[in-house]
Amino acid sequence: MTAVPAEEEGGGRPGPREQVAAAVGLLDRPLTSYYLVLGCSVMLLALGLTMVLSASSVQQLKATGSAFTLFQKQAIWMAIGLPGMWLASRLPVKTFRAMAYPLLLLSVVALAMVLIPGLGRSVGGATRWISFGPIQIQPSEPAKLGLVLWGADLLARKERLGQLTEWRPLLVPLLPGAGVLVLLVMLGNDLGTTLVLLTIFLALLWVVGAPGRLFLGIMGLVGLLVSILIVVEPYRMQRLTGFLDPAGNQLTTNYQGIQGLFAVASGGLFGTGLGEGRAKWDYLPHAETDFIFAIVGEELGLVGTLVVLGLFGLLAYAGLRIARRVKDPFTRLAAAGATAWLVVQAIVNIGAVIGVLPITGIPLPLVSYGGSALIPTLIALGMLLAFAKREPGARQALSARGPGPVVRALSWLGLARR
């Protein structure tokens, strides 16, 4: 008896295997990375703006008389950052390389200014802000982008000259340069940003192909450094002991973490409903920044948290896909460094909220409130979009796509040619 093909059994419809093969085939298209980065970024931004409004509405209504205060500020930061992302997506690679050294130098100067009494401002035990009247800037955020660009440019030049076969050219001056940034951030007692900077440094070494023994040695030094930072600062030691003993000090050290867990647990499968959460009513500190994921879990439930995790997972896949497919060493290193920065920061933030990692006080990229973090993140994502256009076949696919929606809209109004 002759077997009937799956297409004929379903009346011409493809079977499950064919559907899976077609779905997997979509991931092999030239513009897959481009659309994944763009789509995930837009969806996380939209979710973040919505959750900032929900998480901050009660506190801002009490403090300013308007529930929309932080929402409006975040919208302004987005209005500034999105054109920056669009511009970065259209820049050539040589422009990013030219930005590397100036941005790193400006970051070092700004981080040093944070430590000047009268300019630096402390929040939650960490001195990480510069105050210029009503405007506050967090220099450690653009420093992440500066380290990515400078480290990628430095290692790409050394790779072209064949100087990466020994450990000394591999680490000098990358290690001292990264060490200066880490030292300045450490002096401001910002452990979370220190971990992200060290992650970028390790990601660059990994991608450039550092020997396993050297890489493990550097990781050991990083672990020792982080341990020292925790031991010498009492509030960090309290956070660590609170993480190891979550049942103790429920009204002091562990209060924020416990309230965050309560918020996530009370959301159930589908959540209490957007805007209907109870944690933001003076129960959960910093609900719109460090613990906004807890508000997502409470109001949107397990489904909402899985959507956030899925979007960051797709963003990680897209960034690593770009790093794997591009040919230029600088592009490969910068894409991997930026991806490691965003994804590890998201993991650390979410891990702290759900109690699997100690609380470090770093925001959830694209979702938490804060312009100093949002704008460099959007520029980094624009850089990934620019790199995605350099994947094999991407430029041809973009050219065959025809005019974009903006050009089409202008042509309908008679303001542009088709």
Per the domain annotation, does 414 fall within a domain? Answer: no
Answering whether pTM is above 0.85, one says yes
Q: Which two three-digit tokens encode residue 187? A: 């002096």
Segment holding 123, helix H or strand E = strand 120-123
Per the domain annotation, does 408 fall within a domain? Answer: no
As a whole number of angstroms, the distance between CA 201 and CA 113 comes to: 23
Per the domain annotation, does 110 fall within a domain? Answer: yes
Per-residue pLDDT of the chain (418 residues; tens, 9 = 90+): 455 454 444 455 676 777 666 656 667 788 899 999 999 999 999 999 999 999 999 999 999 999 999 999 999 999 999 999 999 999 999 999 999 999 999 999 999 998 888 777 776 666 778 877 677 788 999 999 999 999 999 999 999 888 887 888 888 899 999 999 998 988 887 888 988 999 999 999 999 988 888 888 888 888 888 888 777 777 677 777 777 777 667 777 788 889 999 999 999 999 999 999 999 998 998 899 999 999 999 999 999 999 999 999 999 999 999 999 999 999 999 999 999 999 999 999 999 999 898 888 899 999 999 888 999 999 999 999 999 999 988 888 877 765 555 555 445 545 544 4
Residue whose tokens read 């949002």? 374
Per the domain annotation, does 410 fall within a domain? Answer: no
Q: What are phi and psi of 236, to 5 degrees?
A: -70, -40
Per the domain annotation, does 206 fall within a domain? Answer: yes
Q: What are phi and psi of 136, to 5 degrees?
A: -125, 135
Number of structural domains, the chain? 1
Side chain identity at 342, as an amino acid letter?
Answer: L
Per the domain annotation, does 411 fall within a domain? Answer: no
As a whole number of angstroms, the distance between CA 94 and CA 185 comes to: 29
State which residues form the domain around 284.
Answer: 30-391
Per the domain annotation, does 4 fall within a domain? Answer: no
Per the domain annotation, does 5 fall within a domain? Answer: no
Strands 120-123 and 135-137: unpaired
Measured in whole angstroms, how far is the alpha carbon of residue 352 from the centre of its chain? 15
Side chain identity at 271, as an amino acid letter?
Answer: G
Whether the bond into 142 is cis, omega within 30 of 0: no
139 three-state secondary structure? coil
